[in-house]
Amino acid sequence: MRAPLTLRRANAVASRTLRQLRHDHRFLGLSLVSPLVITYLLKVLFDAAANPFFDPTEFIVAYGAFIVHFLTYVLIMIALVRERTAGTLVRMFVSGYRRGEIVTGYLLGYSLLATVQTLLVLGVLRLLFDLDYTLGQSAAVYLVIWLLALISMALGIFVSNFARNEGQAIPFIPLMMLPSIFLSGVIISVEQLAAWAQWLSRLTPLFYANELLLVLIKPGGRLSDDWTALAGLVGYGAVVMLLANLTLREGD
């Protein structure tokens, strides 16, 4: 029995994006090597600033999450903008593909890349920083970062609507990423921020992911230790995915 047409179309988009990734060795290589290089540079940086009162393992996982968040957001946004400028997005719509199928297909296809990126970053962090997490903790940390990657992709798809070409997409990178790194609690604790900034921090997915990761890396930490942050991350994801589905623009 054949799967429903809508699933077959989403699967066709996912297969096509994966086939493209497989053929574009340079893109694939850079997507996988760059998080490793950044992670290694962080290790070098923290080693150089060695201080007995400074323990990078308290926040290095959140840095890793940010690397995955940044890369998945940028890569998928550029990919969608390229579809738009090349005319293939309109052609997809004319060929019968629906918005939801395109968004789902992209999320499915790129989630494989995000999975590999997340595993690589976590693996290298564990090696370089001697992280000693239990299997359950590692799985939960992996799940949070992977969820964050999915949300970042949906965010990238949503934001791609506002750019007509690659040049116009570039300002959206700092626009989304700078608040993410400075307001989410990864660098400065959210409690130390001004009230308005604390409110703004809730608009970044990294805030919820960081809250969860801070709980998870404590000895015996579990996902169920912070239901509010977990619900926030999932809820944020649901809203962004809905927005991406509703707004993917084919023309004027």
What does the per-residue mask of binding to other proteins show for 13-52, with x meaning CB under 8 A? ---x--xx--xx----------------------------
> Nearer to other proteins by C-beta: 93 or 142?
93
> What's the chain's Rg over C-alpha atoms?
19
Per the CB < 8 A criterion, the answer to whether 108 and 14 are in contact is yes
In the list 33, 58, 95, 119, the residue contacting other proteins (rule: CB under 8 A) is 95
Per the CB < 8 A criterion, the answer to whether 32 and 118 are in contact is no
- The span of 29-37, 89-97, 119-127, 160-168 binding other proteins (CB under 8 A) equals 89-97
Stretch 47-86 residues interacting with other proteins (CB under 8 A): 86
CB-count exposure of residue 86 (10 Å: 0-12, 13-18, 19+) = exposed
What does the per-residue mask of binding to other proteins show for 187-216, with x meaning CB under 8 A? ------------------------------
Task: Work out whether the CA dihedral 76, 159, 148, 70 comes out positive or negative.
Answer: positive
Please count the CA atoms within 13 angstroms of the CA of 23 that sit on its side-chain side: 6
> Nearer to other proteins by C-beta: 92 or 177?
92
Q: How far is the CB of 244 from other proteins (least distance, A)?
A: 19
- The span of 4-12, 148-156, 194-202, 232-240 binding other proteins (CB under 8 A) equals 4-12
- Cα angle 198, 200, 204 (rounded to 5 degrees) comes to 110
Residue 165 interacting with other proteins (CB under 8 A): no
Local structure of residue 78 (DSSP, 8 states): H
In the list 1, 94, 194, 195, the residue contacting other proteins (rule: CB under 8 A) is 94
Measure the CA–CA gap between 192 and 185, rounded to whole angstroms: 9
In the list 46, 59, 66, 97, the residue contacting other proteins (rule: CB under 8 A) is 97
> Nearer to other proteins by C-beta: 78 or 124?
78
**List of residues 6+ apart from 153 with CB closer than 8 A:** 72, 73, 76, 106, 107, 110, 111, 114
Measure the CA–CA gap between 80 and 110, rounded to whole angstroms: 12
- The span of 5-13, 53-61, 143-151, 185-193 binding other proteins (CB under 8 A) equals 5-13
- The span of 43-51, 63-71, 95-103, 195-203 binding other proteins (CB under 8 A) equals 95-103
Q: How far is the CB of 45 from other proteins (least distance, A)?
A: 36
How many chain residues bind other proteins (CB under 8 A)?
23
**List of residues 6+ apart from 103 with CB closer than 8 A:** 154, 157, 241, 244, 245, 248
Which residues here bind other proteins, judged by CB under 8 A?
5, 8-9, 12, 16, 19-20, 23-24, 86-88, 90-97, 250-252
